[in-house]
A and B are shown apart, each in its own frame.
Chain A
Amino acid sequence: MKWINFVLTIMTVTLINAGSVMGLITISSLDIRPDLLIAALAFFAYISDRRDAIITSFMVGFMADISGSTMGPSMIAFGIIGVCFSALRDVLLMERLRNRIIPIFLMSMGAMIIVDLLTAIKTGQHIARPYLTIPLCSVYTAAVGAVIWPLLDIIAVMLGVKKRNSR
């Protein structure tokens, strides 16, 4: 992994994710928007070897925290979920668009639930209607994540990550 390129890539994704531009694809007043960092987390956890997956997961979590409002919750959530996802990568086939949607959806659900719980513990703030917001955001994240996967594949080549052999 070329770590400088990785940092630049994640920084770009973070700025897009945190920027007002995302308002263009936000749905409803519940603020339903895809989390590009979770999509990136899924991709890097899947494509990297175990050691790199651990580092990238926590780094993506750190970027999610620093661009948000609370430090800590995303680092823990993304770290745990990313490592679990990386452990399952041998049984997952992410080559086809439809195969990517469910793993990214589940990953997003898990990460968002943990982030919401830890944020509530730290600051006492809950997101509005989490029973509705979290699944809808996860569906949106899964859809967007599955679509941008080929783009991330191209970026992975620039990062020097070896493409996994499809079975």
Chain B
Amino acid sequence: MMAKANNSSLFIGFLMVSAAVLILPHQITSNLNAFFIELFSPVISLRIDIPEELINSKSPGGEWVTRQEYNRLWVAYKNIYADLLEEHERLEKMSQYRSYLPKSGAGLVAAKVIRKESGQFLLISRGALDGVRTGQYVMSDGAVVGTVSEVSTANARVTLVINNSHSLEVRIIRDQSTDYLRANIKGDGVSACKIPLVSREFDVKPGDLVYASPTPRFLDTPRIIGEITQVVPDQNNPLLWDITVNPPIDYDKLQEVAVVVMETVMEAK
């Protein structure tokens, strides 16, 4: 009888402690998670990679590249194209007046991916000490993969663009065109993204490119997110498009990313 009462008290005691921990603000309790990650990051980030040669047999003529290499080159090409469009735009403005302020410089902070977390998050090895702040863009091989959502002293959590609670302003650009359409992109929670609320009045086709829009203090030029792979009428609202975007990144294989840390004019002073 006594043992039963003791067990009940023990259970209730533990439950109350757990409830107290749950009630504590996430900003406070997340320090415990950050401490654990910092302490064990060498073990947690340990990877066993299966060599590419075991997965893919090599072409004898060497006429093709791996999907990873193809994606890297595709992203680089599309980003250069976006830069070209920006330069055109800048040239048009320059021909009218000289910009007063110099272009703010963007720095990249390279970070190691400690692990990919369920729910489309990445835990990276850079934090507030390295200038990483919430909202900064995170790139891999030149493509935007997500934004920083939580920062601790030495680590940060990145919400991937495929996360279904993640939203970003984007530009939809047709290849070889200078016009673009503004929209918002949202992850589908699995491996692709969706662009909701685009009217069917707009001409959007598979193959159009999706770029993250420049954002003051976070991104100064458009950077590629992915390519539109499917455009069908929205089943719930036939006046809108249901647009699917496929990012050119294999998130499971991400080992290194770069955080865009912009040095604004004010900070430089």
Q: Size range of the interface on A?
A: 35 or more
In the complex, are the beta carbons of B115 and A19 less than 8 A apart? yes
State whether A54 and B189 are in contact (beta carbons under 8 Å apart), knowing that A15-B43, A72-B21, A122-B26 are contacts in the complex. Answer: no
In the complex, are the beta carbons of A20 and B47 less than 8 A apart? yes
The A interface is mostly helix, strand or loop, or mixed, namely helix
Q: Which of B1-52 contact A (CB under 8 A)?
A: 3, 6-7, 10-11, 14-15, 17-19, 21-24, 26, 29-30, 32-33, 36, 40, 43-48, 50
Contacts of A109 in B (CB 8 A): none
C-beta contact mask, A101-135 vs B, less than 8 Å → 1, else 0? 00000000000000000100011111111000100
Interface residue stretch chosen among A63-71, A89-97, A145-153, A154-162: A63-71
In the complex, are the beta carbons of B33 and A66 less than 8 A apart? yes
C-beta contact mask, A8-25 vs B, less than 8 Å → 1, else 0? 000000010011110110
A113 to B59, CA, bound (A): 47
A27 to B206, CA, bound (A): 28
For B, the interface residue count at a CB cutoff of 8 angstroms equals: 48
Contacts of B133 in A (CB 8 A): none
Contacts of B43 in A (CB 8 A): 15, 19
State whether A75 and B18 are in contact (beta carbons under 8 Å apart), knowing that A54-B11, A126-B165 are contacts in the complex. Answer: yes
In the complex, are the beta carbons of B252 and A68 less than 8 A apart? no
- Chain A residue at minimum C-beta to C-beta distance from B29: A71
- Chain B residue at minimum C-beta to C-beta distance from A32: B118
Contacts of A73 in B (CB 8 A): 22
Contact of B157 among A18, A69, A128, A133 (CB under 8 A): A69
Q: Which of A42-96 contact B (CB under 8 A)?
A: 50-51, 54-55, 58, 61, 65-73, 75-76, 79-80, 83
Contacts of B29 in A (CB 8 A): 70-72
In the complex, are the beta carbons of A71 and B190 less than 8 A apart? no
- Chain B residue at minimum C-beta to C-beta distance from A16: B43
In the complex, are the beta carbons of B26 and A50 less than 8 A apart? no
State whether A125 and B165 are in contact (beta carbons under 8 Å apart), knowing that A69-B117, A118-B22 are contacts in the complex. Answer: yes
Contacts of A125 in B (CB 8 A): 119, 165
In the complex, are the beta carbons of A128 and B45 less than 8 A apart? no
A26 to B15, CA, bound (A): 32
User: Is B116 an interface residue, CB under 8 A from the partner?
Assistant: yes
C-beta contact mask, B47-84 vs A, less than 8 Å → 1, else 0? 11010000000000000000000000000000000000
- Chain A residue at minimum C-beta to C-beta distance from B159: A125
User: Is B120 an interface residue, CB under 8 A from the partner?
Assistant: yes
Q: How far is the CB of B193 from chain A (nearest CB, A)?
A: 12
- Chain B residue at minimum C-beta to C-beta distance from A67: B36
A133 to B10, CA, bound (A): 33
User: Is B147 an interface residue, CB under 8 A from the partner?
Assistant: no
Q: How far is the CB of A80 from chain B (nearest CB, A)?
A: 8
Contacts of A70 in B (CB 8 A): 26, 29-30, 33
Contacts of A68 in B (CB 8 A): 33, 117
A92 to B4, CA, bound (A): 21
Contact of A31 among B10, B36, B118, B188 (CB under 8 A): B118
Contact of A19 among B7, B44, B150, B188 (CB under 8 A): B44
Contact of A76 among B10, B19, B252 (CB under 8 A): B19
Q: How far is the CB of A86 from chain B (nearest CB, A)?
A: 10
In the complex, are the beta carbons of A20 and B164 less than 8 A apart? no
Q: Interface centre among B40, B45, B46, B150, by most A CB within 10 Å?
A: B40
User: Is B121 an interface residue, CB under 8 A from the partner?
Assistant: yes
Which B residues fall within an 8 A CB radius of A? 3, 6-7, 10-11, 14-15, 17-19, 21-24, 26, 29-30, 32-33, 36, 40, 43-48, 50, 114-121, 150, 157, 163-165, 187-191, 251-252
Q: 20 A-B residue contacts at CB 8 Å?
A: A18-B40, A18-B115, A19-B43, A20-B44, A26-B252, A50-B3, A54-B11, A65-B33, A69-B33, A69-B117, A70-B29, A71-B24, A72-B21, A75-B14, A79-B15, A83-B11, A124-B165, A128-B163, A128-B164, A129-B190
